A and B are shown apart, each in its own frame.
Chain A
Amino acid sequence: MTKKQKKTLVRILVTGAAFAALFVLEHAGAFASLPALVTVWFYLAPYLLISYDILIKAAKNISHGTVFDENLLMLVATVAAFAIGEFSEALAVMLFYQVGELFQSYAVGKSRRSISDLLDIVPEYANVEEDGGFKQVDPDEVEVGTEIVILPGERVPLDGVVTEGSSLVDTKALTGEPVPRSVNAGDEIVSGCVNGAGTLRVRTTKAFENSTVTRILELVENAGNRKAKVENFITRFARVYTPFVTCCAVLLAVLPPLFFGGVWTDWLRRACIFLVISCPCALVISVPLGFFGGIGASSRLGVLVKGSNFLEALAETDTLVFDKTGTLTKGEFRVAGVYPESGSEAELLEFAALGEGFSTHPIAHSIREAYGKPLDLSRVTDVEEQPGFGIRAKIDGKAALLGSGRMLDAENVAYAENDAAGTVVYLARERKCLGSVVISDSVKPGAKEAVAAAKRLGISRTVMLTGDRSRAAEAAARELGVDEVRAELLPAGKVEAVERLLDAERGRGKLAYVGDGINDAPVLARADVGVAMGSMGSDAAIEAADIVILDDDLGKIPATVRIARKTMGIVRANIVLALAVKALVMVLGALGLANMWMAVFADVGVAVLAILNSMRTLSLGKTE
């Protein structure tokens, strides 16, 4: 608790004790014989103690020209209650109002702290070598390219490349991933991780303000700035709510006694009830608090949500579109089968490895890896690579073709079609097909489970986008349990495919696109919610996406959808609760059926309940 809060607590305790004493005295009949003008002083003393700051604030705000101010309204309500002889009610209203305020500031402070604990990733210093020893400097002052030393157990202060040493680093604070990652010389290392048992020397590659830690913190801090639709609704609502209720109160106090012969004190009491519930606090505070907690809970999983609006959209998502390579699959190609038409598999593979000997394409790499023996590349001459088709070269002076069916078609070389799942490379020597090699990409562990979990959450349509051939794509989709496939897409085709899906979606749920963020920035931007995966440290992905999953775990998508839905559920429950209770008490109040106690509950009680409810979002996802 802060000093200010402690002070308020003491005032509340003293006033509470005084209130209890007065309550007992009153019911024992101690004031029965005293005139009201004497009794009122017993109540005024504690009243002034509990309300003096509100008095001062109201006076100051009036001098600045602010009229519809909750402080003033509270004051008017309680003074009016005194005027009509409801002393204990007047004191109680102020007392509970202060209890509510104290609780609010305590709860908000607590949530704020729990989020910053969650994001306890900020490094305090960096070790820079100096005169044979280390000097601890502010990470802010370390220039790019400086060599720093990270001792065992220290937090990595800046992004960089390891130049010496090896260790296991704990990325849990960033990604929620409990298994430490091993780093060796030459590997990149990300700020915010905690070093394990080895000492590392790191050459920094980024200044502190651009490093991963700073960017992640900024993202989470700014998330509240992008407001969800419900939040904007509440803000607009709050703007008209207070003036409306206050006007009602004035009309209620004036009209019936003036025109219909009502009793002044009776209608003044009813008006006071309105004034006490005139603050929209319960809504204004609990809705952003709920989103704040939901975003915080996602960060704990290693999922950065860039705004409340995206959490809201994710909760409504019913179409999930995945990019295939690098998202659902590992993006690592492997030779899955060698199919010679004549000769042995080993001969065919050697031929393939030679032909692909100079290429840097991932397919070429996987073929060379499968061959696994040193290659005599002097046997290969006149290499010509046709992107998207294949390679033309001379091996031992004989014309060789290695490529897709389309390439062989173009060259009029006859071949037996291979329907195995994956990418097929046909091989031909001197215009005669020797056979084919099939290369496939393996499905990421957990991808199938993640798709199934998303379906269980009621996501009705799952679609996979890929540049692969239809047959390979369909086989992968079947394996993963994805409903639909859009295959043979060029990068621009992915945007179009998503646009068509968005059209179909219009007026219903939302569409989320999941990609690796490397070359699909336009698609990420086009979708209702763009989710980038496995992109810890990739600027482009963090920039383009709305939600960033820091590690590679697809299972975090359904987990985040669950958090988003629970958050929305809590937020909606709060709105309904607050509006319903306030409306009910106002109606009862106008009819003369409610008393001040009910008004206090509708104001402070509901605010406390709504805040407690919102704070539940902070612990969402803890059990997952």
Chain B
Amino acid sequence: MTKKFKMQDLDCANCAAKMEMLIKKIPGVEDASMNFMMQKLTLTADDDRFEEIVREAQKVCTKVDDGCLILR
């Protein structure tokens, strides 16, 4: 399943690149793309674990830049 999420307070381009790299490493993620310009995350991951993966992704984002939220 591929889903798009709007990002809130994604302030730095370098952080976006780091987040993208780390989200791609989450098990079950097929592809992830953090679009800094559009402030959007496109995530392709396993259907049955999708919710869990989004939560993981949020953790990664918080780790890189505290206060950056994936809006659901």
Which positions in A face B, CB cutoff 8 Å? 57, 60-61, 64-66, 70, 101, 104-105, 108, 111-112, 115, 221-222, 224-225, 235, 238-239, 279-281, 284-285, 288-289, 292
Contact = CB atoms under 8 A, between A and B. Distances in A.
Contacts of B14: 70, 238, 279-281, 284-285
A224 B35 CA distance: 6
B64 A66 contact: yes
Contacts, number: 64
Contact of A111 (B11, B13, B37, B65): B37
Interface in B50-72: 62-67
Contacts of B18: 239
A59 B65 CA distance: 11
Interface string B30-47: 000101111110100000
A61 B13 CA distance: 17
B38 A70 contact: no
Interface of B: 11-14, 17-18, 21, 33, 35-40, 42, 62-67
A413 to B, nearest CB: 61
Given A61-B64, A61-B66, 8 more contacts: A70-B12, A221-B40, A224-B37, A225-B35, A235-B17, A281-B14, A284-B17, A285-B13
Contacts of A64: 62-63, 66
Nearest to A4: B9
A101 B63 CA distance: 20
Contacts of A221: 35, 38, 40
B63 A66 contact: yes
Contacts of A57: 65-67
A346 B64 CA distance: 81
A103 B33 CA distance: 25
B21 to A, nearest CB: 7
A288 B13 contact: yes
Nearest to A235: B17
Contacts of B63: 61, 64-66
A235 B17 CA distance: 7
A112 B37 contact: yes
A284 B35 CA distance: 12
Contact of B13 (A112, A115, A281): A281
Nearest to B37: A292
Contacts of B67: 57, 60
Which 10 A-B pairs have CB atoms at the shortest separation, nearest pair first? A285-B13, A60-B66, A225-B33, A64-B63, A284-B13, A284-B14, A292-B37, A224-B35, A235-B17, A221-B38
Output the residue of B42, B63, B66 with the most chain A CB within 10 A: B66
A472 to B, nearest CB: 47
Contacts of A285: 12-14, 36
